[in-house]
Amino acid sequence: MSAILIRRALPAVLLLIASFHSPAASASEEKSDAESQAEKKEDTSRGFRFVFKDNPSLRFGKVLRIDVRTKFQSDFRSFSPELSTKEGTFDLHRARIGIEGKFLKHFEYEVEYELSDVLRPLEEEDATPSKRWRDAYVNFTYFKDFQIKAGKFKVPLGLDQLTGPTKLDFVYRSRIGDTLAPARDVGFVVHGRFFKRGLSYEAGLFERDGENARSTKNPGAERTFAGRLTGAPFRLLPVPPLLKAAELGIAFTSSTVPEGPKGIRGKTVAGKKFFPLPGDWMFVHGERLRVGTELSWMPGPFSLKGEFIHLRDERLGQSLRQTDLPDLISRGWYVSGTWVVTGESKASGVEPRRSFLRNWGTGAIELAVRCEQIRFGSSEHPGTPLRHQRAPNILPASDRAWTFGVNWYLNQWLKVQFNGIREKIEDTMRGPIIGEDLLWTRVLRLQVVM
């Protein structure tokens, strides 16, 4: 009972605290040039200092900087038709605390821990205690264009998945971002940027193929090699300046999946499985290859993003007669757009020109829409399509969704999001509600970040 009370009271307390900090933020924005120069000189001084700008920070001269970060997100949800979830209508979605900073000039670090599971014990099938530790890595920056990152962090594939949870345009990630992109794992990458950040690269090796593909019953694939290349090619072409900000990217991962029921599983926004049949896993064995392409364009107060991910699982020796089966194919896409109606720039993160509760400011208002689809099937279609785990011709299953959203940025700490999500399930026999192909989810999120 006490844990439930804490979960319900925590968002309101954090909102109140952050609101009281708004006047301090406005004061810092109105500092004179002389004060700013004084701060710069102080930053280069030696000795111990405590600094509070957007978040608490400890400085030990030029040797060490420790920034304390907190992230809290609480969701209020409803479903139509009614769905029963373990979180219920209220969910403390994230409660994270961490530190990040630099030491010895050329080392960057970040460590982040998930606290919500302390108040909401791990009950989900796909949850493991190791997931409480989120990012935990060190980045060596001595060479500007050849940096090395090692530890636990996100495998470099998937624009939506690689976007931080507090910077998302929507309450939930896309279906391909939550399912087909790898997410975090332990490993290392070599990365850098060229041509004034016009071209970026990442290449690395990871212990497995990310948390999204694993659960307590499925250890996932083994050693994974990943690579990603992004850039702004229109900078070199005679096109209108507005188009030069568009960025394109391509990425891939390659790993080996041990024999067994280890295929990717499809889930709805509410976390309900729709592929394969409830309680089943697809039998796979061999190479798992992901290929992804992405587009990001953020001119002024607008943004346009799109992504496509194709995932192929080999099924070597997985028929009932132990012969090879056609590959299991999982693929999907999304296209999204946003408009900050109050005029703030989108590219560097929406920062309200007039914060809420400061001189009666309204904050920043943003409208967002996303169309997406994720689909599962086989690469070839011999014989009758079946739902069986070892079927040569897998009966296709898909989830197509529209998300309509409104984002309200009160100040640099507070954000309120409302999303209405419409999903259409192709095969209702594998959906969360037998015979129902249309699902609606309504969610209100309160976010506090420091």
Strand (E) or helix (H) holding 158: none
Give kind and range of the element (H or E) at residue 189. Answer: strand 184-194
Count of structural domains within the chain? 1
Cα–Cα distance for residue pair 64/58, rounded to 1 Å:
8
Average pLDDT over residues 223-239: 91
pLDDT tens digits for range 281-297: 899 999 999 999 999 99
**Selection from 212, 320, 304, 326 nearest residue 267 by Cα:** 212
- What band does 45 get if pLDDT is binned at 50, 70 and 90? low
Instruction: Give the least confident one: 25-39, 74-88, 196-210, 213-227.
Output: 25-39
- 144 pLDDT higher than 90: no
Residue range(s) defining the domain that contains residue 214 = 2-29+47-449
Mean pLDDT of 323-341: 97
List pLDDT tens digits, range 411-425. Answer: 889 999 999 999 999
Asked whether the beta carbons of 147 and 201 are under 8 A apart, the reply is no
Is 17 a member of any domain? yes
What sign does the CA torsion over 250, 255, 259, 260 have? Answer: negative
Could you tell me the two tokens for 356?
A: 């809420």
Residue 92 lies in a domain: yes
pTM of the model: 0.86
Q: Which of 286, 290, 264 is nearest to 157 (CA)?
A: 290
Tokens of 413: 């700490």
Residue 297 lies in a domain: yes
Q: What are the C-alpha distances in Å from 217 to residues 124, 125, 127, 164?
A: 12, 8, 10, 27
Within a domain: residue 41?
Answer: no
DSSP letter for 392, please.
S
pLDDT for the residue numbered 13: 39
Which pLDDT belongs to residue 361?
82
Q: Tell me, what CATH number does 434's domain have?
A: 2.40.160.10
Model pLDDT, residue 236:
81
* Residue 342 in domain: yes
Answer for the pair 383, 355: CB distance below 8 angstroms, yes or no: no
Residue type at 96 in one-letter notation: R
Evaluate whether 316 touches 328 at the Cβ level (below 8 Å).
Answer: no
- Residue 346 Cα distances to 188, 208, 301, 324, 369, angstroms: 31, 35, 5, 49, 15
Residue 42 lies in a domain: no
Say if 36 falls within a structural domain.
no
Q: 35 lies in a domain?
A: no
pLDDT digits (tens, 9 = 90+) for 159-175: 999 999 999 999 999 99
